[in-house]
Structure 1
């Protein structure tokens, strides 16, 4: 097999990427089709679909794998079979995601000649991800409302996110401040910390960093008196 395209993503690092697609709707990406697939005929009619299946390679994951893995959803301690999970550590490192198709571009762009670009939204794809195949999402056959979801029966909890005055000031200097702020909130609301850190009490002392678009977002986690978790953005630094 050979890749049909490459992802240009708002996620430059693995850390912070939502564990499932659709959890951060403001996450954007461009899927650049590669020759000989960068022919407008290859995507003729695709604009009629709102969502796509993207089949890709976990290119930044190690090639080694084990039969048992520790899914973050179970706290990073319980073990389950690799084929009972969506772990990136898989025998063939293949992944699939349902993403929103936000637009289609063909022809020249930024001085480039030809080419096909699919604009994606709500994805969970690392920058540079090789895409192996693209298929339309068909809700009447692909969605199964009464399906069982095993140990992940509901979406993950969402936490409150706050911004320091310094972080707010940096955001407001940017042209894309509204969309970047929304993306930061969506990513941090899901608590991107390692599962074994998330299982411990959060005192707001340890600082974490997650890269989004072209900035390094530095944040802490703090347990509130009511038992809720608050993700506090301390600083936003140009990466």
Structure 2
């Protein structure tokens, strides 16, 4: 007998990623900031009592961009070049039977008294702006950390740590924090592994910035920064 489960979004995240391209493939890979704003029925400050004692939390969230899409028992992980199939349960693909994601982020601050109720300020978020949050749980290092664990095929994939060429004249267009985060994001090489054209100019949006770049061998070259004008 099929068992139906109803999940309600308890919050949404406000992040600097208006689109998927450029989002870190895992949480904690870049110092990206995010604010978690709760729905009115979950703003009781008693629900947050003691949360400030933790340095990290788990975010359980919904792959809202894949809702309604058919899941597949096998997927092509981009880090394997997009031409090798693995079982969906051996990956973190969004195309799952239930579109649920899991991210570990640093909890910078719990702000209880805001016009929108309690707000959590987090660091290292890898979520699209507006992503629904289904639950929040504390990260427990004595049980959640397993340095000896085997990482499957992910351990055999090349670690990306590209050099980033960010010209001085373009650096004047951004703040020092924006520059640092952009370099962190680009160093991970946001391109699919099968795209290797050194002449191609890619565009990545971060906050109100559009970053144009090329990749040649092991170096990312930032070629243009465009900041959107406020409406």
TM, length-normalised to structure 2: 0.91
- Alignment of 1:79 onto 2:85: yes
**Equivalent of 1:164 in 145, 167, 186:** 167
**Paired residue for 2:17?**
11
**Equivalent of 2:149 in 147, 150, 165:** 147
**Which SS does the other structure have where 2:170 is aligned?**
helix
Contact 2:81–2:192 (CA under 8 A) maintained in structure 1:
no
- Alignment of 1:31 onto 2:33: no
Contact 1:166–1:235 (CA under 8 A) maintained in structure 2:
no
Contact 1:166–1:234 (CA under 8 A) maintained in structure 2:
no
Alpha-carbon distance in 1 for matches of 2:169, 2:190: 22
TM, length-normalised to structure 1: 0.88
Give matches, 1:89-238, under 5 Å.
Answer: 89-108=95-114, 112=115, 115-153=117-155, 156-171=159-174, 177-197=175-195, 200=196, 202-203=197-198, 205-223=199-217, 229-238=218-227
Question: Cα deviation per residue 1:34-71 (whole Å; 9 max; x = unaligned)?
Answer: 12111211111000000001000010125222111011
Matched positions, count: 220
Contact 1:50–1:101 (CA under 8 A) maintained in structure 2:
yes
Q: CA deviation at 1:156?
A: 2.5
Unaligned runs of 5+ in 2: 1-6
Q: CA deviation at 1:165?
A: 4.2
What is the aligned-residue RMSD (CA, Å)? Answer: 1.4
Question: Cα deviation per residue 1:171-193 (whole Å; 9 max; x = unaligned)?
Answer: 2xxxxx11101110010000001
Q: CA deviation at 1:9?
A: 0.3
**Equivalent of 1:48 in 48, 53, 69:** 53
Q: CA deviation at 1:146?
A: 1.1
Q: Which runs of 4+ in 1 moved over 3 A?
A: none
Alpha-carbon distance in 1 for matches of 2:43, 2:210: 33
Contact 2:77–2:86 (CA under 8 A) maintained in structure 1:
yes
Unaligned runs of 5+ in 1: 172-176, 224-228
